[in-house]
Structures are given as structure tokens and as C-alpha cells.
Amino acid sequence: MLKAKVYVTIKQSVLDPQGVAVQGALHSMGFGEVESARIGKYMELTLDTTDRAEAEARVKTMCEKLLANTVVEDYRFELEG
Amino acid sequence: MLKAKVYVTIKQSVLDPQGVAVQGALHSMGFGEVESARIGKYMELTLDTTDRAEAEARVKTMCEKLLANTVVEDYRFELEG
């Protein structure tokens, strides 16, 4: 059993309206030190396999095909266990 | 300048419909090894401060007040830089 932790973030060159909204909300709540906020996704997948190398390749395919939109998003992942 | 990496996840006891949908989609795409998927948020905040201890306390407050719904979500964060 392996656990994959997948992080999907919006590319630096792409506008992140959700992040801008969160930054604005934090400012109006008195957290003026927040210079920028970027919002991404964090996913935990439990994989019924013990083959680390194969899992690595398959999680990469999952990211490319479903979990991330690689036009505007970057992804990275870690395998644990 | 500090960077805070905030991870917000749905509590284990709470149903995660988005995760169930992602798991179903992965299964139908041939990734049958995915036993479960949980979807959370990953946020990067840039903070205009160098006081690590104060930043820690303030990011905690941001999480409690805005970034996480502590009734159904857990959060953790790391400070860098």
C-alpha cells in the first residue's frame, strides 16, 4: 500500500483570481503582511500496490490525464509507505 | 520575507464527495489500484515579515478565521525562508 501526495499549483505566469480574493480578504481582516496568495490543490491517493517504480509512472499519468490541467497548472507528487 | 505553505484537508470522519468522484473517474480510466482519494487545498502565502514566531501565530489565526473551516477541515502549515 502506497500513499501518493499530489500538489497541483497554478503556473506563475497565470492569474489566480481565487488567490487574489483570499489576499484581499486577509488584508481587510488586518493581515496586511500578506503580499501574495496562490491557491492550489492537495490530493492524497491510496494505492493498492507495492511497486514503487510502477506507481510513480502511473501517478504521473493520472496527473497528466485527470488531476492537473497542464496548460495552466504545474504538479508534483511524493510517494510514501 | 517568509513563505507559508498551508495544507487544508477534510477530516477523516467527513465524507469527501470530490474525492469519491475523482476515485471513480480514475477507476473508469483504468487506474483500479486507487483505493481512495481525498482532495484538499494547498495555499502559498508570501509574508512581508522576518519575525518567524509572530508569523507562525498570525498564520495560525488566518487558518482559524478564513483559510480552513475547522468544523470539517484540518490544517497544517510550514514556514520557509
CATH assignment at residue B14? 3.30.1280.10
Q: What is the pLDDT of residue B81?
A: 86
- Which of B31, B58, B64, B77 to probe the A interface (max A CBs under 10 A)? B31
Judging contacts by C-beta atoms under 8 Å, the chain A residues touching residue B35 are: 1, 46-48
Q: Is B46 within 8 Å of A34 when comparing Cβ atoms?
A: yes
- Which of B23, B28, B42, B58 to probe the A interface (max A CBs under 10 A)? B42
How far does Cα A80 stand from its chain's mean position? 17
Contact B6, B80 (CB under 8 A): no
Provide the residue range defining the domain that includes B43. Answer: 2-80
Judging contacts by C-beta atoms under 8 Å, the chain B residues touching residue A38 are: 43-44
Backbone angles phi, psi at A31, to 5 degrees: -95, 70
- Counting the structural domains of chain A, the total is 1
**Closest-CA residue of chain B to A59:** B31
What's the Cα-to-Cα distance from A69 to each of A9, A40, A63, B41, rounded to whole Å?
A: 10, 12, 8, 16
- Residues in CB range of A80: below 8 A, 6 or more apart: A2, A3, A4, A5
pLDDT above 90 (res B13): yes
pLDDT above 90 (res A81): no
Q: What is the pLDDT of residue A17?
A: 96
Tens-digit pLDDT profile for residues A23-70: 999 999 999 999 999 999 999 999 999 999 999 999 999 999 999 999
Considering only CB atoms, A42 lies closest to which of B26, B41, B55, namely: B41
Q: Is B44 within 8 Å of A58 when comparing Cβ atoms?
A: no
- Residues in CB range of B77: below 8 A, 6 or more apart: B4, B5, B6, B7, B59, B60, B63
H helix or E strand, kind and range, residue A52: helix A52-62
